[in-house]
Chain A
Amino acid sequence: MTESAILYDSSKCSACKGCQVQCKQWNMLPSSMVKDGYESTGSYQSMADLNGDTRLLIEFREKDTPAGVEWAFSRRACFHCTEPACMDVCPVGAISRLDDGTVKLDSSKCVGCKYCTAACPFSVPKYRENFGVSNKCTLCDDRVAKGIEPACVKTCPAAAIFYGPRTEMLTKGKARVAELKVAGFNKAELYGETQMGGMHSLFVAKFGFEAHGLIRDPKKPDIVTLMSIIKPLTGLGIAAIVGGLGISFLSSIGYTRDGLTEELETADEAAKEEK
């Protein structure tokens, strides 16, 4: 199966948050219903970060430059890495990579240990308090399986989010970066081509990675690499323990402890005498 990807173009995005709301609607993720119970970020941004009920967030960053104000928008959601750190650390195998490159979190298997949140260089998976599981973008695999584009792509009124074969999206993204450079946005870059082994959510960063809050060179935390060594070792250790116990059991068949039977009899007799 060919690999698919989302392409987000921050230079076309109007930051209307349509994708943010549509994501919640399609995936049936609620917002608080406490009157005036929402946090405020002091900017147009809805909340400080993703949360258990929010898989996609439009972020606002602004910088005053001599050439004018750089208002950088970012679509914060799972990047669907080819080498996902979250998948490596998941102790129950709830996170898997689908054929099209989507990194899927199966909430029915998730035990809510939050290892994925800690391992992800972008802290994308978030713990969903009332369900006791982690939550993150699924790239709308349910829609994609039916041949429909993801909900955020479908709803974008500015045509700033695209979905299609990854090779096509890469070409499209690179062409847009070249266009932006000609238009005078010298720092324009495409995010996700090589990062974390190649991402399945690409990002045209109009003002450069830093301006959009993207990590230039994301790396799996060392502990994740360590875990990939420790995991098979632990497996071996457990096998050795279970095997050892097995051998111990087999070798002890027919063994009776000296004196044990007599002691029991004595105890029984003593009890009779008391009566």
Chain B
Amino acid sequence: MKDGPLTEHYEPFESPAKNLINGGQSTPNLTFGSAKSVKPSDPKKYPIVCTTYRMTEHWQTGGMTRNIPWLAEAMPKMFVEMSLELAKEKGIANGDQVRVFNDRGDIEMMAMVTPRFKPFTIDGKTVHQVGMPWHWGYASGYATGAIANDLTPNVGDANSSIPEYKAYLVNVEKA
């Protein structure tokens, strides 16, 4: 293990929280941490935690599945899920077109406002989280949409260089 003999907790490269478990904030052995293209997001400017995930209807960036009408119809649109609390704060209604952005990118998609997302309370502060799938793109397919990886940081973990696409910082506004 490159980051120590035992598993250790580190905060993601971009995090609104302080690592209370040990002295370090994020792992000192990030593989692409110093590359210029990373453009780390300032938690003050971008206070919302964003995560990416997959849907059952699509596979990877949808190069195959968005070209199958049955599957494209089953999950047709790129979206960002957010809590009712965040939506209220930003004046966003379900189905609205919204802009999700940080210093690396700026993408537009449909807002999906749902009680399944709940704000966290971290160190006494309310921290919101949004989530988006990354199956869309513009090149081909019957259903096209914004590219989630325009926002993700290109940092890799110390051992296998797996990109940290599951936790980074953004801001959200109504488009």
Q: Which residues of A contact B (CB under 8 A)?
A: 14, 16-18, 20-21, 24-25, 30-40, 42-44, 46-47, 62-64, 69, 71
Contacts and interface: CB of A to CB of B under 8 A. Distances in A.
Nearest to B115: A64
Contacts of A18: 56
Interface stretch (B6-14, B69-77, B123-131): B69-77
B77 A38 contact: yes
Given A31-B72, A62-B116, 15 more contacts: A17-B56, A17-B57, A21-B70, A21-B71, A25-B70, A31-B73, A31-B142, A32-B69, A32-B142, A34-B142, A35-B142, A42-B112, A62-B114, A69-B115, A69-B116
A40 B77 contact: yes
Interface residues of B, number: 25
A17 B68 CA distance: 14
A74 to B, nearest CB: 16
Contacts of A64: 84, 115
A236 B114 CA distance: 58
Given A16-B56, A17-B56, A33-B142, A38 B116 contact: no
Contact of B70 (A24, A42, A47): A24
B54 to A, nearest CB: 12
B80 to A, nearest CB: 12
Nearest to B117: A69
A38 B73 contact: yes
Contact of B75 (A14, A32, A44, A63): A44
Nearest to B118: A69
B124 to A, nearest CB: 24
B77 A47 contact: no
Interface in B50-85: 55-57, 69-77, 79, 84
Contacts of A36: 76, 142-144
B95 interface: yes
Q: Which 10 A-B pairs have the closest CB atoms?
A: A38-B76, A64-B115, A31-B69, A31-B73, A42-B95, A16-B56, A40-B77, A46-B74, A42-B94, A21-B70
Contacts of B70: 21, 24-25, 31
A30 B68 CA distance: 11
A96 B140 CA distance: 44
Contacts of B79: 40
Contact of B115 (A14, A33, A37, A62): A62
Given A17-B74, A21-B74, A47-B73, A38 B57 contact: no
Given A17-B57, A43-B112, A69-B116, A38 B72 contact: yes
A33 B57 CA distance: 17
Given A32-B69, A33-B69, A62-B114, A46 B75 contact: yes
B110 interface: yes
B143 A38 contact: yes
Contacts of B74: 17, 20-21, 46
B72 A40 contact: no
